[in-house]
Amino acid sequence: MSPRARAVPKKRPLGDFAPIFAALGDEMRLRLIAVLCVGGAMSITQLTSGTDISRQAITKHLSILAAAGLVRDVKAGRERLWEFEPNQLDEARRSLVAIAQQWDHALAKLKRAVES
């Protein structure tokens, strides 16, 4: 590896996070994440019980979450277990922090301009 391995994660353009936020932008999917987060890996039928929508609807939500990298599935015999995957969610969080920081920076610059 050249000079050094990336200790600092590569800076992604903001727009890259749109799919992640879109995946989070649904009540049912947020609920699924919460359930997987607390309850650990679970099968589709397990996840479906307790909701009032069909198994296929849950499957679709899970694939959207998976496409966004928020959950991951492992085959276990005849069933398919889904588990929460924290990486992308953490990156999403960091992107919000980045926006907030730019905001603070802009405010500070404005303040300095006013006070001069």
Residue 74 interacts with which of a copy of itself, DNA, none, CB < 5 to 8 Å by class: none
Question: Which of 18/57 has CB closer to a copy of itself?
Answer: 18
Which ranges of the chain would DSSP assign to H, the alpha helix? 18-24, 27-39, 44-48, 55-67, 86-115
CB of 87 closer than 8 Å to CB of 12: no
Does residue 72 sit in helix, strand or coil?
A: strand
Provide the minimum distance between the beta carbon of 17 and a copy of itself in the complex, in angstroms, as a whole number: 7
Residues in 27-66 that interact with DNA by CB under 7 A: 28, 43-46, 52-57, 59-61, 64
Q: How far apart are CA 22 and CA 65, in angstroms?
A: 9
Residues lying near a copy of itself in the complex (CB under 8 A) are found at: 14-15, 17-27, 29-31, 33-34, 37-40, 84, 86, 89-90, 92-93, 96-97, 99-100, 102-103, 106, 110
